[in-house]
Structure 1
Amino acid sequence: MSRRKPTPPVVSTSGSPAKPGPVRVPRVNSSKVSLLDTADDPWLPAEDDSHGSVVEFPKPRKSRRRLYLILGLITLVLLIGGLLAYLIFSPALALRSVEVTGNSLVTSEEATEALEPLLGIPLPQISDEQVAELMDGFAPIESVTVAAVPPSGLAVNIRERVPVAILQSSGQFLLIDEDGRQLASVTDRDAVQLPLIDGGTDAVNSEVFSSIAAVLAALPESILNQLNHASADSVDSVELSLANDQTIFWGSAEQNEAKALVLEALLEAPPADPPAKVFDVSTPSRPVTR
C-alpha cells in the first residue's frame, strides 16, 4: 500500500486557530506521464513493474534442427561425391582380368584379346557399349552383357547367333544363321550336325533360301541335329532329309510352329512296320506318312 504525504498544518495570521481547508491536488493526465515522471512524482502511486520488463527468449528449437539438418545433408553429399570420385578414378579398381562365358563359335582367347584396350581402366568407367563395340567384329556375337567383378575383374557373357545350316564354298563349310549371315567355317562336314543347303554362297541371296532358313529356324534342336540336307525348288516346296534316309516334305514356310510340333510327334511315335520313309507335314492338320 502506498503511503500518502501528510497534509501540512494551516497557520492563521489573525491569532485564532485556523480551520483546515481542502487541499487541492493538481490533476495529472495519465496518458502524458512517462515512466520517469511517475517514478519521481510523489503524488502518483508507484507502478508495479513486475510485468513491464521484456524477456528475450532463445530461438525456437525447430529452426536450429532445420539448420543442423541442412548442414548434415551438405556434409553427406560431399562425402558421397568424394567416394564416387575415388571409385571412378581409383587405380585400385583398374581392370586386370576378363572372364568370357556363353561362347562357342568365338574362342575365349579371341574375345579376351579383343578386350585388351580396356585393361587398366577403372571398372566404373567401363560400359556395356564399350565392350559391345570392341566385340562388334565377331559375326557370331549377337549381344554381350557385362558385370564388374571387384576389385579388378570383368565378366563378359556372350549371346551368339544360332547357325541353322551349312553352305559349301571353296572347300569349306560355312555356318549360317536364318538371315544368311556367315558365322564361322569348318573343313570337316561331319563336325557340324546341321543340314547342307545346295547352291553355295549365292544361294543366300535367293528367295528360296529365305524360306528354307525360316523353316530350319523353327525346328527344335533335337530335329535340326538329325537333318542331313535341306532343299527347295520353290518357296512352296521345302524338303528336308534326315540322316537315316527319311524325307520330310514341309511345303511353304507358313505355319512353321504347328508343323514343327506335328513332325516332332511323328518322329517320337513308335516306328511302323515297315518304317515310314516320308513325313508330309505340309498340311499340319492332316499329316501323312508313307
Structure 2
Amino acid sequence: MSPRPPRPPRRPRRPTRAAARPPSVDGDAGAEPPQDDVFQEAPAQETASRVAESGPAGAGPTEGDVVVPLETEMPRRSRRTAEEVFEDPGDAPPQRSSSRPVAGPPSESQDWHLDEDDDAEPLPFPEPEVVSTRRRRRRRLGWTIGLVGVLVAVVGVLYFSPLLTIHHIQVERNDLLTESRAQELLQPLYGRPLPQVGNAQVQELLAEEPVVDDVVVQGELPDTLTVEIIEHPPVAEVLDGDELQFYNEHGEVISTFADPEDPEADDHATPRISEEAALRDDAVFSTIVAVLGELPASAREAMDSATADSIDSVQLILDDGRTVVWGGAERGAEKAVVLEAILASEAEDFTEVDTIDISTPDTPVTR
C-alpha cells in the first residue's frame, strides 16, 4: 500500500471588511437602502473636523497625530424615491435608441381606443360550416320538439275536454234497423267525449243486430255523432206462422215483421222460400240462401221464390213463371253472370221458354 501524498497547503482566507452602513439622510438608521443610490459629496471642512474628532472622546489632535485633510468624503447612500430622482428631466438616465418601441403607458397623443362616433366596423369572420350545420340542426330539433309538444297538448285537450261531449246522435242509411232500435243501442255514447268514440265502439254496441254489417262514424263539432250503417242485404224471406222473416246469405235472420203485409217488408224484393223447404233440412236451406246471395240485386228482384229437394237441385222461379235450374252451389259466380245476361236478353230463345238450365254455365240449355 503506497503512502498517501501530503495535502497541499490551505489557501489563506481572504480578509473581509465589514462595511458599516452609513446613516440615511432622513435619520432612519435601520431602513434598507433603496435600489437607486445617489451619491452626494460632503464639504472638505466637515471631513477634516470628523477626522480630528476621531480620537479619544473629548481629546483634540496631539502633536504626534497627523491630520490629513480629505478633499472628499466617501460617498454615502441616500434614500430617494423614483419621482424625486427623475423629477428633473436632466437627471433621467439616457434612453437607448432602438427601432423597437418601448412598452409603457400610452401618451395623450396616442389613440388606444376607438371613438364612439367612429364608423369603423369589425372585420367579418366567416363561421365554420360545421358550426353552422350544428346550429341549424339544433334549431330544427327545437322547432320539431315544440311542434310535437303543441300537437300533444291540443290532442290531449280535445280528447279529454268536456266541451266536446256527445249530445246528439244521427243514424243514417238504416233500412231494416229501425231508428228507435238504433238509438236504444247507442244510448251509452251520450255524454262521452267526441274524440273517444270510433267505429269499434259503435260496432260493438250494434253487434246485437245481425242486420248490421259495418258502420262508418263521423264526428261533427261540437257535440254531434253521425253513424252510417251498412246493412246485410236480405236475400230470402220465410213466412213462419204470422211472422215474416228476412234472411241474409249466411242463413241468419236479420229482420222480423209481425205483419206480413207491413209496407216496410214490401220495399224489399226478396225471393220467398217455402216453410217446408226451410224447416226440412238445414243444409238444403243454407244452400238455397247461399245461391241467392251469389245473385246481383237486379236478378233477385226478378225472382219470386226458390226451392230445392237437395243441395244439388236448387231451382229459382221467376216472376214471369220461368224456371231456372241452378244445380249445386259450386261455380256460383259464373252461373250468376250467365243468368244476368239471359235475363237482360230479349231473344225468343230465352223469353219464350219454360226452363233455363244453367247448372253447366258454359253450355246453358233451354226447354
TM-score normalized with structure 1 length? 0.72
SS, match of residue 229 in structure 1: strand
SS, match of residue 249 in structure 1: strand
User: Which residue is equivalent to 1:276?
Assistant: 353
CA distance in 1, matches of 2:345, 2:137: 78
User: Which residue is equivalent to 1:163?
Assistant: 234
CA distance in 1, matches of 2:136, 2:348: 88
User: Which residue is equivalent to 1:33?
Assistant: none
CA distance in 2, matches of 1:100, 1:128: 13
User: Which residue is equivalent to 1:34?
Assistant: none
- How many angstroms does 1:245 deviate by? 1.5
1:208·1:234 contact (CA, 8 Å) conserved in 2?
A: yes
CA distance in 1, matches of 2:277, 2:165: 45
SS, match of residue 154 in structure 1: strand
- How many angstroms does 1:146 deviate by? 1.0
Indicate how the Cα distance of structure 1 residues 138 and 204 shifts in structure 2: closer, same or farther if over 3 A, else same: farther
- How many angstroms does 1:252 deviate by? 1.3
CA distance in 2, matches of 1:263, 1:87: 54
Look up the equivalent residue of 1:283 and give its one-letter code: T
* From 326, 339, 342, the counterpart of 1:266: 342
Post-superposition Cα deviations, 1:92-139, rounded to whole Å, max 9, x if no partner, equal 211121222221110233213321221122211112221111111112
* From 281, 300, 304, the counterpart of 1:228: 304
CA distance in 1, matches of 2:325, 2:157: 65
1:163·1:175 contact (CA, 8 Å) conserved in 2?
A: yes
User: Which residue is equivalent to 1:176?
Assistant: 247
**Quick one: higher RCO (CA 8 Å, sep 6+), 1 or 2?**
1
Gaps of 5+ in 2: 1-95, 104-126
* From 128, 132, 153, the counterpart of 2:203: 132
* From 201, 211, 219, the counterpart of 2:295: 219
- How many angstroms does 1:68 deviate by? 5.8
- How many angstroms does 1:193 deviate by? 2.0
- How many angstroms does 1:205 deviate by? 6.0
Aligned length: 244
Q: Which has the larger radius of gyration?
A: 2
User: Which residue is equivalent to 1:253?
Assistant: 329
Indicate how the Cα distance of structure 1 residues 90 and 200 shifts in structure 2: closer, same or farther if over 3 A, else same: farther
Question: Is 1:104 aligned to 2:181, yes or no?
Answer: no
User: After alignment, is 153-162 or 263-272 more displaced?
Assistant: 263-272
User: Which residue is equivalent to 1:286?
Assistant: 363
User: Which residue is equivalent to 1:87?
Assistant: 158
User: Which residue is equivalent to 2:260?
Assistant: 188
Indicate how the Cα distance of structure 1 residues 48 and 178 shifts in structure 2: closer, same or farther if over 3 A, else same: farther
- How many angstroms does 1:216 deviate by? 0.7
Indicate how the Cα distance of structure 1 residues 76 and 280 shifts in structure 2: closer, same or farther if over 3 A, else same: closer
Gaps of 5+ in 1: 1-41, 50-59
SS, match of residue 231 in structure 1: strand
- How many angstroms does 1:225 deviate by? 1.3
CA distance in 1, matches of 2:287, 2:217: 35
Look up the equivalent residue of 1:207 and give its one-letter code: A
Indicate how the Cα distance of structure 1 residues 214 and 48 shifts in structure 2: closer, same or farther if over 3 A, else same: farther
- How many angstroms does 1:288 deviate by? 1.6
1:165·1:175 contact (CA, 8 Å) conserved in 2?
A: yes
Counterparts of residues 4-43 of structure 1 (less than 5 Å): none
2:171·2:179 contact (CA, 8 Å) conserved in 1?
A: yes
SS, match of residue 86 in structure 1: helix
Counting strand residues as a fraction of each chain, which structure ranks higher?
1
Indicate how the Cα distance of structure 1 residues 204 and 221 shifts in structure 2: closer, same or farther if over 3 A, else same: farther
- How many angstroms does 1:203 deviate by? 3.5
2:278·2:285 contact (CA, 8 Å) conserved in 1?
A: no
TM-score normalized with structure 2 length? 0.58
CA distance in 2, matches of 1:66, 1:224: 66
Identity %: 35
Indicate how the Cα distance of structure 1 residues 178 and 204 shifts in structure 2: closer, same or farther if over 3 A, else same: farther
2:237·2:273 contact (CA, 8 Å) conserved in 1?
A: yes
SS, match of residue 208 in structure 1: helix
CA distance in 2, matches of 1:130, 1:256: 36
Indicate how the Cα distance of structure 1 residues 83 and 240 shifts in structure 2: closer, same or farther if over 3 A, else same: same
SS, match of residue 174 in structure 2: coil
- How many angstroms does 1:82 deviate by? 2.6
- How many angstroms does 1:176 deviate by? 0.4
Indicate how the Cα distance of structure 1 residues 77 and 250 shifts in structure 2: closer, same or farther if over 3 A, else same: closer
Counterparts of residues 115-154 of structure 1 (less than 5 Å): 115-154=186-225
SS, match of residue 270 in structure 1: coil
SS, match of residue 340 in structure 2: helix
CA distance in 1, matches of 2:348, 2:308: 28
User: After alignment, is 68-77 or 194-203 more displaced?
Assistant: 68-77
